[in-house]
């Protein structure tokens, strides 16, 4: 397949021999015959305060036919309004109802959607029996004490006193987790005779088929994957999609011309065109094979050199259909490789340091972010996917005039947030921020680092903050900055390569977030003061128990911080962390139930993804975190290079205020 735009499957109106017609709105089709009877259904596809969009389906109830005539009339009604000003498109999710075994009962929880008002209440049913006496107006969870394991549950919203239709049946977590079966690709042999096998690696989620439930996109890592500094051939990178029942939807083989390793393939899963189905984007090359068998570029080209690096040949960016894995649009990758040595070395280490993300650059619809380089030159490209085609929005290059302060400032990850509160998101690229327009917003000049956190870390100040650790022995070992201006609020003394760092509210004994890192003693408050013992890990975070203070996630366990020592809340069983010493989960996110987060680890044999969900009750009522735009794009970029935990765009911690309703609408 030559790099071009493949026509996407889009039917505004279709007539088939089965007599099923789908349309966006009422439409008339002239036909030679009509059915004796039919059923008409509609499905709301997006909604906002003053209007909605819907898919209309008419099903023939009679004999098969070759034509169809559909006419319709509506009573006069107000013209639907446009989405609220500045509102961001988000997924139309279902209730995400789950039942987690908790002692001798079941903790049942479900989503409160970001578009729902505080007046929405709920009734919970075990089978046909309502378990609550009066509608539930608090937290969207219920401990059904004494209920049998495996009991079936549904939940119904109560709006204005009227009970709404039942949700889908609850997903069951009988031992505290749900196993999603996965299928490892067959191993292989490199040109030098080295054999390799595959293990499950990074994962992401998206509603690939528009049913309101997440599907999982999983990257498979060959056992000979390499850091960029290491020579040698690698096996092909494989990317799969799975339903929650373990049905494999498709497999993409990136081919021999994409090297395997943490810094090469950064995939993004998001609904970029707003059609209700998520797409999947990643860098491709000659020989990449889509989920439907399409070959991108040349099927026979081999651009690997004798050291296993790929330093020649075309590079592409492809948007894939989330339903089928088909290639929808393929363009030349930007930024291009160019001269290898212009990125900081000549053997192929720094030229192939890739990052990726998703950002609402226009304040309403998501754009794809693809980046290359951070030790020296840094180039960031923003792409829109509209009407089946990838189109470049802008490119930022640290080599361009006026952008030199961005050179050498990138991290092994990026973050995305509305740092200047203008309704549009920016890219925090390590020690610099790039505005939604693609111009340099600020640079601290503190250079490259391995960990980055952006959120409302100090709720006593207006806006967001950035916490970062540094690698340069001449620079501050860690610092907190104003996310709008880059002004340093506090910093710690230089102390060599500070390889790990975390910031969030993990202790109720100090207001706001606490920050700590590998090379700095103690736990720091929002003013940078040492307030006591630092946690036993400096890796990931998870909202796990019932309070808003966050817990520590490291390797395959969850701990609760306390000044006297950490307390174990969860030890994963039969699972493994990924990414070597980084010891991260495949994914951690608010995937189901109430606002708390799930943890996804592969089983030790890579035959399943094991999803853990908390068995602990909560009294806190919050909308799903996936309807907070900053959190949602954090889940999209989480798999990028050195994975980092997500953060919300509001302060979620001890003493928090009620967060403002997200300015969103459902697509």
At 73 the pLDDT is: 40
Let me know: does 606 contact 199? Beta carbons within 8 Å: yes
Residues of the chain with pLDDT under 50: 1-36, 42-45, 48-50, 65-80
What pLDDT does residue 84 have? Answer: 82
Q: Write the DSSP string, 201-263.
A: EEEEEE-SSSSSS-EEEEEEEETT---TTS-S--PPPEEEEE-TT--EEEEEE--TTS--STT
Core vs surface per residue 213-239: b (16+ CB within 10 A) or e? bbbbbbbbbbebbbebeeeebbbbbbb
Q: Which residues pair with 304 in a beta bridge?
A: 310
Using alpha carbons, select from 369, 373, 514 the residue that is nearest to residue 448.
373
pLDDT for position 57:
55
Instruction: Count CB atoms within 10 A of the CB of residue 136.
Output: 20
Nearest to 91 by CA among 244, 271, 269: 271
DSSP-assigned letters across all residues of 155-217: EEEEETTEEEEEPPPPEEETTSEEEEE--PPP-EE-TTS-EE-EEEEEEEEE-SSSSSS-EEE
CB 412 within 8 A of CB 452: no
Which of these, 226, 115, 99, lies nearest to 154 by C-alpha position?
99
Could you tell me if 251 and 229 are in contact, meaning their C-beta atoms sit under 8 angstroms apart? Answer: no
**pLDDT given for residue 242 in this prediction:** 99
Residues 166-196: tens digit of each pLDDT: 999 999 999 999 999 999 999 999 999 999 9
Residue 85: per-residue pLDDT: 85
Query: How far does CA 265 lie from the centroid of its chain?
Result: 15
pLDDT score at 19: 36
The pTM assigned to this predicted structure is 0.90
- Non-local (6+) Cβ contacts of 456 within 8 A are 463, 464, 465, 648, 649, 650, 651
Which of helix, strand or coil describes residue 351?
helix
Q: How far is the first Cα of the chain from the last one, in angstroms, to the nearest whole number?
A: 31
pLDDT of residue 172: 99
Q: Are 303 and 285 in contact (CB under 8 A)?
A: yes
- Determine if the peptide bond prior to 335 is cis (ω within 30°): yes
Q: What is the CATH number of domain 88-175?
A: 2.60.40.10
pLDDT at 60: 58
pLDDT for 126 equals 99
């Amino acid at each position: 397949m030559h790099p071009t735009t493949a026509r996407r499957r889009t039917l505004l109106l279709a007539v088939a021999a089965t007599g099923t017609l789908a349309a966006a709105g009422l439409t008339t089709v002239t036909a030679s015959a009509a059915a004796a009877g039919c059923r008409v259904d509609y499905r709301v596809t997006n909604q906002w305060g003053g209007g909605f969009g819907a898919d209309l389906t008419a099903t023939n109830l009679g004999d098969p036919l070759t034509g169809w005539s559909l006419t319709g009339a509506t009573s006069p009604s107000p013209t639907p309004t446009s989405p609220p000003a500045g509102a961001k498109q988000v997924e139309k999710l279902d209730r995400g109802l789950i039942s987690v075994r908790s002692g001798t009962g079941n903790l049942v929880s479900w989503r409160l959607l970001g578009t729902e008002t505080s007046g929405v209440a709920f009734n919970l049913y075990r089978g046909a029996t309502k378990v609550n006496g009066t509608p539930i107006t608090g937290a969207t969870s219920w401990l059904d004490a004494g209920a049998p394991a495996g009991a079936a549950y549904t939940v119904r919203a109560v709006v204005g006193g009227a009970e709404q239709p039942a949700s889908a049946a609850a997903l069951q977590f009988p031992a505290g987790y749900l196993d999603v079966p996965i299928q490892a690709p067959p191993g292989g042999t490199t040109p030098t005779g080295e054999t390799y096998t595959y293990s499950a690696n990074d994962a992401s989620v998206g509603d690939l088929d528009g049913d309101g439930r997440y599907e999982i996109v999983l990257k498979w890592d060959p056992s000979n994957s390499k850091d960029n500094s290491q020579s040698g051939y690698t096996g092909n990178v494989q990317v799969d999609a799975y339903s929650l029942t373990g049905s494999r939807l498709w497999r993409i083989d990136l081919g021999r011309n994409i090297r395997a390793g943490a810094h090469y393939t950064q995939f993004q899963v998001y609904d970029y065109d707003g059609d209700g189905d998520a797409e999947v984007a990643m860098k491709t090359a000659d020989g990449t094979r889509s989920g439907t068998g399409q070959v991108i570029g040349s099927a026979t080209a081999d651009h690997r050199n004798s050291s296993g690096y790929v330093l020649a040949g075309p590079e592409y960016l492809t948007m894939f259909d989330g339903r089928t894995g088909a290639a929808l649009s393929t363009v030349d990758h930007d930024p291009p490789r160019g001269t290898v040595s212009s990125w900081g070395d000549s053997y192929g280490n720094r030229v192939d340091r890739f990052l990726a993300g998703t950002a609402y650059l226009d304040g309403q619809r998501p754009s794809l972010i693809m980046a290359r380089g951070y030790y020296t030159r840094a180039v960031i490209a923003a792409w829109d996917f509209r009407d089946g085609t990838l189109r470049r929005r802008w490119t930022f290059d640290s080599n361009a005039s006026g952008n030199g302060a961005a050179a050498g400032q990138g991290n092994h990850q990026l973050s995305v947030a509305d740092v200047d509160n203008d309704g549009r998101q920016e890219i925090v690229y390590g020690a610099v921020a790039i505005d939604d327009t693609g111009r340099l917003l600020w640079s601290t000049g503190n250079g490259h680092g391995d960990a980055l956190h952006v959120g409302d870390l100090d709720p006593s100040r207006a806006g967001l903050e950035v916490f970062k650790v540094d690698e340069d022995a001449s620079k501050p070992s860690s610092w907190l900055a104003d996310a709008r201006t880059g002004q340093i609020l506090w910093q710690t003394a230089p102390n060599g390569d500070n390889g790990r760092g975390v910031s969030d509210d993990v202790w109720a004994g100090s207001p706001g977030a606490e920050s700590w890192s590998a090379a700095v003693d103690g736990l720091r408050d929002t003013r940078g003061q040492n307030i006591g013992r630092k946690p036993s890990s400096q890796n990931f975070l998870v909202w796990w128990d019932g309070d808003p203070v966050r817990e520590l996630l490291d390797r395959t366990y969850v701990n609760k911080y306390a000044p006297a020592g950490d307390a174990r809340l969860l030890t994963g069983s039969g699972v493994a962390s990924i990414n070597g010493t980084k010891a991260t989960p495949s994914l951690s996110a608010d995937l189901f139930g109430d606002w708390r987060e799930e943890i996804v680890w592969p089983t030790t044999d890579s035959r399943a993804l094991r999803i853990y969900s908390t068995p602990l009750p909560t009294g806190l009522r919050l909308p799903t975190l996936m309807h907070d735009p900053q959190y949602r794009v954090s889940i999209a970029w989480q798999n990028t290079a050195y994975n980092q935990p997500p953060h919300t765009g509001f302060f979620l911690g001890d003493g928090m205020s009620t967060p403002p309703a997200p300015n969103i609408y459902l697509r």
